[in-house]
Amino acid sequence: MTDGGALSGGDFVDKWSGSRMKQVTLPGGETVPALGQGTWKMAERSDRRVGELAALRAGIDLGMTLVDTAEMYADGAAETLVGEAVAGMRDRVFLVSKAYPQNASRERLRRACEDSLKRLATDRIDLYLLHWRGAVPLAETVEAMERLRASGHVRHWGVSNLDSDDMAELVAAGGTGCVANQILYNLTRRGPERDLLPWLDARGIAAMAYSPVEQGRLVRDERLAGVAARHGATLAQVAVAWTLRRDGMIAIPKAGTVEHVRDNRAAADLVLDEADLAALDAAFPPPGAKRPLEML
C-alpha cells in the first residue's frame, strides 16, 4: 500500500485501478482503504472457490485492496484462498491476518505467523492481529509481536475484540506499537461509540469494523428502507456507508461473488447527510451508557 500521507477521511486514487477511495491513516502515516474485504466463512465449500477467488480479485481491482483473513477461518484454508487470489499482485494488497490467542506466546506466535505466511504464499503480513484475548499475558504478546515486526515477518501489528480496559492494559504493557483494533461494529452493535471508539480516536489507533451488515441481517432490516430509497441504494449499502461515516474506521464486509463485491464497493461512494444520520439514530439509537464490547 501507499505511504501517500492522506489524512484520515481523505480520498486517494489507486494508481492501478484509478478508483478513488476514502483512506484511513495508520500510526506512522501509512494509508489504507477505508473499505476492505473480509473472508470469514470463505473457503469452506469447494463449489464456491472459483467465485470467491473472482470476488477477491474484483475487489482489489475496484480499490478494496485491504484483505482480512485469519488462521482460524476454515482452519487456514481462507488464508490459502487469499494467497491464491493475490498471486501476481501482492504489492497492490494490504494483507491482514489474525492469530489464535493460544498462539500469542513468545514460543508460539512466530511459528503461527510463519504457518500463515506459507498459506498466504508471501514473505510478510502487512497487519497481524491478536484475534481475541486469551490466557497469554498481553505483555508477552506485545513482546512476541514486536519481535515479528523487527524480523520483517509483519509490518504492523494490532489486536481484535479488545475493549477499552484491555487496550489500556495493552498500552501499559508496552503496546504503543498497536496500530488497529478490529471489533464488531454496525448499526445494531453501537456500544463501542460510548467509550472504546473515542479511546482509539484519541490515540490515532484505527478501528476495523467486522460484520458491518450484522451477518446479513441488516440486508433485510426495513428500518433502513427510507434512507436507501432516498439514495437509490440497497439496505446493505446504507449499513456499510453508515459504518464508513466515521474517520479512522475501516469496514471489511465479506462478498463471495463479483456482483456482491460491486455492491459493496458502491457503499464507499454513498454519502449520508445529516437527515439520513438522524433517521438512522432514531431507528438504531446510540448507546446511553457504556456497554461491554460484543463479539461474534
Instruction: Report the binding-site residues.
Output: 131
pLDDT band for 112, please (50, 70, 90 cuts). very high
Average pLDDT over residues 59-82: 98
Residues of each annotated binding site for substrate: 131
Task: Say what the pLDDT of residue 4 is.
Answer: 32
pLDDT score for 20:
79
Say how far apart CA 242 and CA 175 lie, in whole Å.
30
Whether 24 shows a pLDDT value over 80: the answer reads yes
Q: Which pLDDT score is estimated for 8?
A: 46
73, 128, 185, 210: which is the annotated catalytic residue?
73
pLDDT at 291: 93
Q: Return mean pLDDT, the chain.
A: 94
SS3 100: coil
Per residue in 81-99, pLDDT tens?
A: 999 999 999 999 999 999 9
Backbone angles phi, psi at 72, to 5 degrees: -75, -35
How much is the pLDDT for 156?
98
Phi, psi of 156 (to 5 degrees): -140, 160
Report pTM: 0.94
Which of 3-17, 146-160, 222-236 is predicted with the least confidence, judged by mean pLDDT?
3-17
CA angle 209, 210, 212 (to 5 degrees): 80
**pLDDT of 12:** 58
pLDDT 10s digits, 149-206:
999 999 999 999 999 999 999 999 999 999 999 999 999 999 999 999 999 999 999 9
Backbone angles phi, psi at 77, to 5 degrees: -65, -30
According to the model, what pLDDT value does residue 11 have?
62
Q: What is the mean pLDDT of residues 41-46?
A: 97
Give yes or no for residue 3 having a pLDDT over 70. Answer: no
Task: Say whether 100 is catalytic.
Answer: no
- What is d(CA 139, CA 173) in angstroms, rounded to the nearest whole number? 5
Q: How far apart are the first and last CA of the chain?
A: 29
Domains of the chain (ranges; CATH) run 11-283 (3.20.20.100)
